[in-house]
Amino acid sequence: MAIDEIARIVSHEEAGPGYRFLVVEAPKLAAELVPGQFVHVKVPGLEASALRRPFSVFDACDGQVTVMYKIVGRGTEALAQAKPGDAVSVLGPLGRGFPVACSGVPLLVGGGYGVAPLHFLAKRQVAAGLKPILFVGGRTKGDLLALDRFAALGVDVRTATNDGSAGAKGFVVDPLDDVLIELRQKGEAFELYTCGPDGLLKAVAQRATGTGMPGWISMDRHMICGVGACFACIQKVKLPNGEAFNARCCVNGPVFKAEDIVW
Ligand code: FES
């Protein structure tokens, strides 16, 4: 059952050029959220038809919920004006998240601000005694976000940029493939978790199905209502009987099993 909590903004800081961390006091939500779920924030100053925006949860602990977002349009431009002390309505937890438990090494693969839910996941996995490895990629150095936050968790971070300005030059799946070869040579199990642009999600899903290991894919689809009513966020998936089904990412996802997604 989703909770609609009136939350005071604790801090609202830059998370990189054009990105923000929004931290709100929302104890009921913070206690319920699991990694990969999202919240719907009512943006102050927008008319009723455009009030809410969906955001991945970057962290939820000690009664506070953190989201990381990119300023990309009217809604997020309006939200960027909100100040500490302002109140916003936050609806959640919404959607289905990632499983935290992992048999083997958790391999987290993020592109751009797709690292947001992976941070929450990594934090819970570290707390559970797991040792996740994060692979993060972007076009250039400025696209690699929140690396210090992952480092503070003790996560092993491997980076790649297309222009070589940080980490390996090329695509983030290159360092991932090196680790996959290493783990398979050692006979070690792993699970893949990813969030980012579609091309990356598909590449990671192929590696999960190709190796026969579990893969958890967070689909980034345009959302309007966030609660299953508008059908804006459709993703074709396979049912256990093999038939295709139009899933709504906001209620049936956003996280799906790699083998279930019809690309
Ligand atoms: Fe409306 Fe998913 S956003 S059904």
pLDDT, one tens digit per residue, over 104-140 is 999 999 998 899 999 999 999 999 999 999 999 999 9
Amino acid at 71: I
Please give the average per-residue pLDDT across 243-263, as a whole number: 96
Handedness of CA 225, 229, 233, 239 (dihedral sign): positive
The Å distance, Cα 87 to ligand 1 centre, comes to: 25
pLDDT above 80 for 219: yes
pLDDT digits (tens, 9 = 90+) for 170-214: 999 999 999 999 999 999 999 999 999 999 999 999 999 999 999
**Atom from ligand 1 closest to the CA of residue 223:** 3
Between the CA of 233 and the centroid of ligand 1 the distance, in Å, is: 5
Task: Give the number of the atom of ligand 1 that is nearest the alpha carbon of residue 229.
Answer: 4
**Does 46 have pLDDT greater than 80?**
no
pLDDT at res. 44 = 75
Helix (H, G, I), strand (E, B) or coil at 257: strand
Is residue 57 a contact partner of residue 39, using CB atoms and an 8 Å limit?
yes
Q: Is the pLDDT of residue 74 over 90?
A: no
Read off the pLDDT of each residue in 218-233 and give the average, rounded to a whole number: 92
Calpha distance 173→80 (Å, rounded): 33
Give the per-residue pLDDT at 48.
60
Per the CB < 8 A criterion, the answer to whether 254 and 218 are in contact is yes
d(CA 91, ligand 1 centre) in Å: 14
Residues framing ligand 1 (Cβ under 6 A): 223-226, 228-233, 248, 250
Q: What's the gap in Å between 224 CA and the centre of ligand 1?
A: 6
